[in-house]
Structure 1
């Protein structure tokens, strides 16, 4: 569509675009593509979280649980970037009403992995996973 506009406005095809225009031109996705990737990314996140919960009951499964649950939450969070774009997503995450939930969620993502791999505290890892869930829920509701 942009090429058609350039031709109709008389701009030459080889005329250089600014850096911002080139980035926007190269990164635009159609609405259906955005929705498809949102669904794929969100479903992958939910699947990782469920798989992580199932792996919790295996011997030494707390590590797998923490990794899969954290990756699932990151994937579900990243899925909304397809709908609204990454910059708008970041702006919304750090609005006044969501900033505390966002900071708690990001902190708990890191602390969950720290609790499992460095501190070797299973109970603490589960507490951080619960806090991840609550922070994501608070952020989504607001």
Structure 2
């Protein structure tokens, strides 16, 4: 670098200043629409993070009131739905619904949403603690099955492992 500076005639300070100005114009100049798009993406990321953290906080707080199944079911289910719904900020609500009701995960989505509704009905309307706990357990299992549908071959692998571990042949 020192030899290169010696070969180029002119003042070194002017050359460095003009070079840094040209670089900064090329790297940092965004149009108004590009800046607006970056701002929009950042807001979506903040909303995603807020919903995800809020959902996990509700699920964590539900463990505090675990001995009161109705409060537990409400907090846990709300946190669960909030965490799952947070991805709608990343991909958009229409794309989220399209992915949820895709043919590969239609049954998993229906089971998950069904158990969410059953847990809320049994907690808020029926006030049956045993039914509420059973619905929450089924909701967790349905959520795991739904989440596995996004990982290639995960549901098949879990199914095969369950068959191997739970096989009753002697």
The answer as to whether partners of 2:118 and 2:135 remain within 8 angstroms in 1 is yes
Query: Structure 2, unaligned stretches of length 5 or more?
Result: 1-29, 150-170
Partner of 1:125: 132
Compare relative contact order (CA 8 Å, sep 6+) and give the higher one, 1 or 2.
1
2:46 aligned with 1:36, yes or no? Answer: yes
Partner of 1:138: 145
2:61 aligned with 1:54, yes or no? Answer: no
1:130 positional shift: 1.5
Corresponding residue SS for 2:127: coil
Q: TM-score with structure 2 length normalisation?
A: 0.62
Partner of 1:22: none
Of 84, 89, 96, the match for 1:77: 84
Query: Structure 1, unaligned stretches of length 5 or more?
Result: 5-27
How many residues in Structure 1 have an aligned counterpart in Structure 2? 119
Partner of 1:24: none
Q: TM-score with structure 1 length normalisation?
A: 0.73
**Mapped partners of 2:39, 2:142: distance in 1:** 30
Partner of 1:25: none
- RMSD value over aligned CA atoms? 2.5
